[in-house]
Amino acid sequence: MPLLPLRLSLLLLALGLGGCDDAPRFTKPEPGEARSGGDATVRKSDRNAFSMPSANLSPSRRLDFSVGNSFFRSPWVIAPSTTTARDGLGPLFNTNACQNCHIKDGRGHPPAPDAINSVSMLVRLSIPDQPAYARLIEQTGIVPEPVYGGQLQDMAVPGVAPEGKVRVDYQPVLVQFKDGTEVELRKPTLQITQPGYGPMHPDTRFSARIAPPMIGLGLLEAIPEEAILANANKGKGIAGHPNRVWDDVQQKTVLGRFGWKAGQPNLNQQNVHAFSGDMGLTTSLRPFDDCTAAQTDCLQAPNGNGPDGEPEVSDNILRLVEFYTRNLAVPARRNVGSPQVLAGKNLFYQAGCASCHTPTFTTSPNAAEPELANQVIHPYSDLLLHDMGDGLADNRTEFAASGRDWRTPPLWGIGLTQTVSGHTQFLHDGRARNLLEAVLWHGGEAEPARQQVLQFNAGQRAALLAFLNSL
């Protein structure tokens, strides 16, 4: 078909439904929309697409990026060791290197049926909030499980028992489109076996979380707080609200931005808590191992602290890792002018998806890194919490996030997941095996958008997926 008639037919396809009457109509790409990360965007679409430094980093600044990368990729070892710069792993841990979870700086996945460990997916633990723990909840967001703490660690150093083993079972859930097409979703059931320290609290709440992609985090950190708050409580059934979390440095409650429930305020704290919870490594901000009072072998195990009590992860290493995580660049979009992609973009807006997946922000002029300042970026996230319904609920609160709330995940780079990470498993627990399944799990505030998508015919579904895969 000639190009012009094809464009017209796809546009008509995209506009064939009701939905958001005030949704914009796109017949061509918007200026600069292919540069998802502004001047920091890289033109890379192969397996290394998520591992590149910000395009506008100078050569001297790329050296710090490379050194930070080495600490992100390299395994940590058990103390005591001659490798003193990287010793102190555990006593309890989920993995021995950041890269093991964030595969190629990309997305993790749930454990396969025959997996020995659940590397790249962890399980958060807590018990229901209680007034007696108000101060603890203010500073940690949860009441940890009394024996196992706030996170299940399925590996340990010799002489210390792992906390348990994790596996996931699935039940089929059938969903039908208006045209009769059926899609089988899979509903996960978490199984915790071989508990290392006795039974858990009878009302323990579990939340499986796969590792999210690492791209564009410094740009998200640089979005002005007021710009995020401006999108709260939009109306029309969209009631996004900010999480309010504890800042360990400032010792006060601030806006949450990172993690599946926006439970961390900034990248440094996110990294510190990952070093602590995921690898059992101390820092100056968290100078203690992640052991509970009941885990005596864990408390007594050797550590990798320096002779004068220096933490296992020095402030300099922490600085370099922070710089690395701030500057992992967002890859440029592909095929932004394709008629099918434009048709899918119209459908995305028409269904109301952009109400939460906010396309565009401008970063602050006072960003932590000058390369990230004053950038027009396209993350497709509002960084706010939204009620996503019972289907996705983990029934576990985290600061101001309810058991049905999830932070809107950024969509930039999502079409490169297969290329980078070798799979297409989406949502917080990886239950969706492709993007269409991910869309069909949306509920709560997103239920009207889901219902719109269920009206789509095969051509419209293909157009929507073409748009998402262009991001």
Q: Kindly give, in sequence order, each residue whose CB lies less than 8 Å from that of residue 250, ignoring residues fewer than 6 positions away.
A: none
Give the tokens for residue 96: 């021995």
H helices within 145-304, ranges in order? 217-221, 225-229, 267-279, 296-300
The β-bridge partners of 173 are 185
377 CA to centre of own chain:
18
**Measured between alpha carbons, how far is 398 from 428 in angstroms, rounded to an integer?**
15
Task: Give the amino acid at 149.
Answer: G
Q: What is the DSSP string of 186-220?
A: EEEEEEEES-BTBPPPTT-EEEEEEPPP-TTHHHH
All residue ranges of the chain with pLDDT < 50 are 4, 8, 16-18
Q: 10 Å Cβ neighbour count for 430?
A: 24
What's the predicted TM-score (pTM) here?
Answer: 0.95
- Phi first, then psi: what are they for 145, rounded to 5°? -60, 130
Q: What pLDDT is recorded for position 8?
A: 47
Give the tokens for residue 7: 């464009």
Q: What pLDDT is recorded for position 232?
A: 96
Radius of gyration (Cα) for the chain, nearest Å?
Answer: 22
Q: Kindly give, in sequence order, each residue whose CB lies less than 8 Å from that of residue 60, ignoring residues fewer than 6 positions away.
A: none
Q: What pLDDT is recorded for position 37?
A: 98
Q: What pLDDT is recorded for position 19?
A: 52
**Measured between alpha carbons, how far is 459 from 441 in angstroms, rounded to an integer?**
21
Q: What pLDDT is recorded for position 21?
A: 60
Q: What pLDDT is recorded for position 18?
A: 46
Give the tokens for residue 64: 């710090």
Q: At what angle do helices 458-470 and 3-14 cross, to 10 degrees?
A: 100
**Measured between alpha carbons, how far is 347 from 301 in angstroms, rounded to an integer?**
56
What count of residues does the chain have? 471
